[in-house]
Amino acid sequence: MADSIYRAPKGTRDILWPDSARWRALVEAFADVVGAAGYTQVVPPMFEHVEVFRRLGDATDVVAKEMYEFLDKGGRSIALRPEQTASVVRVFAEHRPVVPWKVWYTGPNFRYERAQKGRFRQFDQVGVEALGPDDPHLDAEVIALAWRFYERLGLRQVTLLLNSLGNPDDRSRYVDALTAHFSADADALSEESRTTLATNPLRVLDSRRPEDADLVAAAPEMLDFLSDDAAVHFARVRGALDALGIPYTVSPRLVRGLDYYLRTTFEFVAEALDAAQDAVGGGGRYDRLAEEMGAPPTPGVGFALGVDRTLLACDAEGVFDAPATVIDVFVVDTCGGDEAVLLTDEVRRAGMRVDRAWDDRSMKAQMKAADRSGAAIALIVGEDERSSGTVTVRDLRGDAGQQAVPRAELIETLQTRLP
Ligand code: HAM
């Protein structure tokens, strides 16, 4: 046991450079894409009263099996968030911001899942939620933002699956039809699917077990149960995506793992990943959720993308590389280190990335550190430079050699020499 205590718990990971830099670059790119569409950032707490997440559906695995729940020291029932839509809608119900309320978020979520590649117990998402309009063009905007974000990362092998779960009445008629279909042949279903059928018939469609395949293939399709109103909404979402040139596959058996969805639902699948973890993002409409949390009836639509899986997809496609370097300039000071204190500060304030050597090591040891640092330029100050008021600027990567530069001209020289 002793040797496993000081390790990250199962299903979690430590993210170090260069992965951490790539991670941040991904979040920044996301903030850029959605910020340009008027979405502002919201930061809800990482835990909520457990009731907030019960809205995701007591019969879903996320709530019934995977939630990190505990009593806090004040006796409150608390859960770590398994996702952020419920939290964001709780924020909406509590603060009642003006609609349309368009927000984005990033951060970790917690699900006690079977840990494997691309499936973690703590995983990060970036996402958006838009509350207020019922407009199908808002569904299309939200989907297009995710699509443009994948494009921005350089991903080319992402497929958009699209479905509609209809209005609440359509959905319950469909669930009844599915229940009748599967119950008529329940003996042929796998044991797991028989259990699912009793609690959440829609999820039987998700089964990938071979013994269920025939019955799932023959199941009625949601799109045949859409009311006129839901069918028109769906057609307009598709029309907008067509107009934008965003390709999609209508996928009538697409069921999402959370129960709040009505009408438009969608998922992004990365073709370059293994089928078990190939969903890089998903979302849809949840037009009843705000009302269930005590707000006036307010439709909503959004999505979340898994950061870990999106980066795995980038690896698989060889795009969105990690940055190659941490710093631009490395300061070598053989006069005891006082010069380095001032030089690093001066060059950093001029906007460059600078590090230095420590512990008053030898010139040779400091130059080795400079090489290892990945910096393009070393600034060397020894007794000669100090007495002549210069700094030696040495090229570490190319063939520009070195030159003694007066201190007063240093920043300008660096600015012309750095890319
Ligand atoms: P979700 O489909 O549960 O939806 O999660 C969205 C994405 O988060 C998944 O497609 C996947 O990339 C990533 N993800 C989920 N679970 C894990 C895990 N255990 N390890 C790694 N990545 C994971 C939602 O969370 C909804 N809140 C989306 C939404 C927003 N719907 C409307 N608005």
Question: Bridge partners of 264?
Answer: 164
Count Cα neighbours of 146 within 13 Å in the Cβ-side half-sphere. Answer: 35
In the chain, count of helices (H) and strands (E)?
16, 16
User: What was the pLDDT predicted at 59?
Assistant: 82
User: What was the pLDDT predicted at 57?
Assistant: 85
Contact 83 CB / ligand 1 (< 6 Å): yes
Q: Around Cβ 257, how many Cβ atoms within 10 Å? A: 20
Which protein residue's CA is at the shortest distance from atom 11 of ligand 1?
306
96 and 57 belong to one structural domain: yes
**44 touches 87 (CB < 8 A):** yes
Range of the domain at 289: 2-167+227-317
* Interacting residues of 13 by C-beta distance below 8 A, sequence separation 6+: 120
Contact 264 CB / ligand 1 (< 6 Å): no
Direct distance between the N- and C-terminal alpha carbons of the chain, in angstroms, rounded to an integer:
51
**190 touches 305 (CB < 8 A):** no
Contact 257 CB / ligand 1 (< 6 Å): yes
Angle between helix 136-153 and 19-35 (nearest 10): 150
Please, which pLDDT band fits residue 74 given cuts at 50, 70 and 90? very high
Cα of 224 to ligand 1 centre, how many Å? Answer: 27
Contact 139 CB / ligand 1 (< 6 Å): no
3-state secondary structure 45-73: CCEEEHHHHHCCCCCCHHHHCCCCEEECC
**Which atom of ligand 1 is closest in space to residue 127's alpha carbon?**
30
Question: Bridge partners of 300?
Answer: 131
Q: What is the DSSP letter of 116?
A: B
Percentage of the chain beyond pLDDT 70 is 99
In a domain, 183, yes or no: no
Q: What is the DSSP letter of 120?
A: -
Q: What is the DSSP letter of 98?
A: P
In 3D, which of 25, 14, 15, 64 has the Cα closest to residue 324?
A: 25
| Mean of pLDDT values over 70-93 | 98
Q: Which residue has the tokens 């050699």?
A: 401
Contact 111 CB / ligand 1 (< 6 Å): yes
In a domain, 175, yes or no: no
299 and 336 belong to one structural domain: no
291 and 380 belong to one structural domain: no
286 and 359 belong to one structural domain: no
pLDDT digits (tens, 9 = 90+) for 272-317: 999 888 999 999 999 999 999 999 999 999 999 999 999 999 999 9
CATH of the domain at 147: 3.30.930.10
User: What was the pLDDT predicted at 400?
Assistant: 87
303 and 339 belong to one structural domain: no
The last residue of a domain, from among 262, 288, 317: 317
Q: Which residue has the tokens 């939290």?
A: 87
413 and 278 belong to one structural domain: no
Which protein residue's CA is at the shortest distance from atom 13 of ligand 1?
306
The last residue of a domain, from among 265, 293, 317: 317
Q: Is the pLDDT of residue 410 over 60?
A: yes
Contact 119 CB / ligand 1 (< 6 Å): yes
Three-state secondary-structure class, residue 114? coil
231 and 343 belong to one structural domain: no
In 3D, which of 150, 126, 130 has the Cα closest to residue 138?
A: 130
Which two tokens mark 305? 């993308």
Contact 304 CB / ligand 1 (< 6 Å): yes
Contact 278 CB / ligand 1 (< 6 Å): no
In 3D, which of 27, 26, 42, 28 has the Cα closest to residue 300?
A: 42
300 and 345 belong to one structural domain: no
Which protein residue's CA is at the shortest distance from atom 17 of ligand 1?
119
In a domain, 257, yes or no: yes
In a domain, 109, yes or no: yes
**329 touches 354 (CB < 8 A):** yes
The last residue of a domain, from among 255, 282, 317: 317
pLDDT digits (tens, 9 = 90+) for 362-383: 999 999 999 999 999 999 999 9
Cα of 395 to ligand 1 centre, how many Å? Answer: 47
245 and 352 belong to one structural domain: no
Cα of 354 to ligand 1 centre, how many Å? Answer: 38
Q: Looking at this protein, which amino acid is placed at residue 294?
A: G
In a domain, 125, yes or no: yes
In a domain, 220, yes or no: no
Q: How many domains does the chain have?
A: 2
User: What was the pLDDT predicted at 237?
Assistant: 98
Contact 171 CB / ligand 1 (< 6 Å): no
Q: How far apart are CA 42 and CA 321, in angstroms?
A: 28
Q: Which residue has the tokens 């990690």?
A: 322
- In total, the chain counts a number of residues equal to 419
Q: Are strands 279-285 and 262-270 parallel, antiparallel or unpaired?
A: antiparallel
Q: How far apart are CA 275 and CA 165, in angstroms?
A: 23
304 and 235 belong to one structural domain: yes
Verdict on whether the full-model pTM lies above 0.85: yes
362 and 293 belong to one structural domain: no
Please, which pLDDT band fits residue 2 given cuts at 50, 70 and 90? low
pLDDT digits (tens, 9 = 90+) for 137-187: 999 999 999 999 999 999 999 999 999 999 999 999 999 999 999 999 999
In a domain, 186, yes or no: no
150 and 265 belong to one structural domain: yes
CATH of the domain at 405: 3.40.50.800
In a domain, 71, yes or no: yes
